[in-house]
Amino acid sequence: MFEGLNPEQIEAVTTEKNTLVIACPGSGKTRVLTSKIAYELDRMKTKKKFIVALTFTNRAAEEIQKRLDEMGIPQDQLWAGTIHSFCYQWIIKPYSCYEPDLVNGFSIIDDTKKEKILSEMKLKRSLPVWGEISTSLNRMGEYINNDSYNNDLAKEFHHAILENKEIDFDLLLYYSYKLINNHQKIRQHLSNLISYIFVDEYQDTQDLQYGIIGKIIDGRNTCKLFLVGDPDQAIYGSLGGTPRSIEEIRDEIGQEEIEFKKISGNYRSTQRIVDFFTNFQSTDVEVQALGPHSWQRGLITLNKTIDKNDLFSEFAKIIRNNLDNGVKPNEICIIAPVWYFLTPLVKKLRSLLPDVPFEAPIATPLPRNRENFWWKLTRIFLTDISPETSLNRFRWIKQVIQEINIYTNNSLNVEQLDCRRYLKIVNRIKPHDDNAIKYLQTAFNEFFKALDIEFVDNPVLFDQWNSFFNGLEARYESDNFKDISKNIKYLKSTFKQSKGVVVNSCHGVKGEEFETVIAFGLLWGNIPNWSSIINQPYYVTKSASYNLLYVIGSRAITNLHLFAETGRTTKSRKPYKINEHLDSLLFDYDIEHSI
């Protein structure tokens, strides 16, 4: 498990104490995290304990599990997933009976329904629909908007969904903290059950999440903590994400000792790319390019004069040039600061480059609530059957059957042979409908029929069914997705591994790497968003700006093309200007005709 690790990485893996690891981009952070998990799993002395790995996305959790599979490490004592999944499965499900608001049952609302309710409330109050309202709460149950009027709206929203026996992710976190804080037996049980908590991308952790983790570990040597991340990649401040200092983390875990380690070698990018993005660094980690590309010059360009309507042809030229020089389509990425820039872009590029595949993972009509039972079942039905997906599909079907047992009070077995039988049922179901909604409805009905279960008799499960399909229909009919095909083949394509030019948002490419990165919309008000500028102190604005530019620049291996296009205007018709920190940077850019 130490193969390929350098001394810095090995030291982080073998530490015996609570640890905070600051890892620069391309430093092998996931390798260190996975190796540390493997190291601790191998040292487990009892079958009664678990290791919990908390990741920012489900995709990151699956990547850890995949790497452990490749290392041949058994994962029976590992739980990996998002903090929301952890809270739902380990705290809310088993202990909701102790919370009056949840005791009579609940379902988790999806983003589509949440946005619809909030939009209706905004219109009722004559507020702009595009205005951001945070529904996050602090540990005292107080809303965190700067404006008290927005706090009142957030409170009204939560009251409305609770009346309908629904919660969102923010209430999920709040009730989890409330349960674990108010009930010592819950804290003790989790602390005795979990031997290690790993936190990936710790800089994106919210206050309530720190509180939940801290309550489990608080002053108990039986459970240790390992956090890894990069404060300079903290781009989820609007969601409450914050990189705590080592002193603050120590306070959370009952003054337990915590070590601080740095991993500074970048094995991804050229030194020139490193020299660019470290201009926006706030930590004192000295980043050095150590990988096979470190010596290459590559291309780094900045275009501040191109009109927004001319971006498509310029991007097409860059893409074609890269392909002609042997770069594969999925090694090229186009990044935008806001997702609604992407749909028209992909449509235009596909017309200009009909022979080039494009992947826009954000352009999926599926509701984004991945805790929804029907989303999980959709993933199993629409993911290709192959040796590469077999282990993941096995894990997914086990989770689905376990949830069916909870929702329907059944006792379906989840042993290995049983799960393989359930997968065979899924594999045999092949509806003839081309329409995605009808296809999924038929598939789900046939699956439950094969299990001899009437899911419609369960109010929570049936309510989630309605929420899932209503959300799917609403997205198909919305302006943002009206050009998206309703054919099941398109929906299946959203679960395939990317083989085309990736088109995504700044947040969507976090953790990824590409030979060539094309970033546009680098304008003040987009990078950073107005929410980080208006009525905010300058240090907040500067930090948000630096972090986004740092993340964008550090995605590139060799080539980086930056565009601060003209022609975009605000709602008051004022022209957008280039991000001021990018504009003031003195850097030896390549001239445009070098492309």
| Residue partners of 521: CB distance under 8 A and separation at least 6 | 336, 337, 338, 341, 527, 563, 564, 565, 568
Residue 575, strand partner residues: 569
- Cα separation, 25 vs 433, in Å, equals 45
How far is CA 553 from each of CA 114, 424, 562, rounded to the nearest angstrom?
A: 33, 45, 9
24 is in an annotated binding site: yes
Give me the helices (H) in 164-223, please: 169-182, 184-193, 207-217
Is 301 annotated as a binding-site member? no
Helix (H, G, I), strand (E, B) or coil at 229: strand
Q: What are the structure tokens assigned to 386, written together?
A: 């192959």
Identify how many contiguous H helices and E strands the chain contains and give both numbers.
Answer: 22, 16
- Any binding-site annotation on 500? no
Tell me: is residue 28 an annotated ligand-binding position. Answer: yes
CA distance 395 to 276: 41
- Which residues, other chains included, contact 45 with Cβ-Cβ below 8 Å and sequence gap of 6+? none
DSSP secondary structure string for all residues of 77-107: TEEEEEHHHHIIIIIIHHHGGGSTTTTT--E
Residue 96, annotated ligand binder? no
Task: Record the tokens describing residue 94, joined without a space.
Answer: 């088993």
27 is in an annotated binding site: yes
Pairwise CA distance, residues 110 & 473, whole Å = 13
Give every CB contact of residue 182 below 8 A, 6+ residues apart in sequence: 98
Q: Could you give phi then psi for residue 543, rounded to 5 degrees?
A: -65, -45
Q: Tell me the residue type at 449.
A: K
Is 26 among the annotated ligand-binding positions?
A: yes
Cross-strand pairs, 250: none
Written as one string, the DSSP assignment of 533-565 is TTT--HHHHHHHHHHHHHHHHHTEEEEEEEE--
Q: Is 436 annotated as a binding residue?
A: no
Annotated binding site: 23-30
Annotated binding site for ATP: 23-30
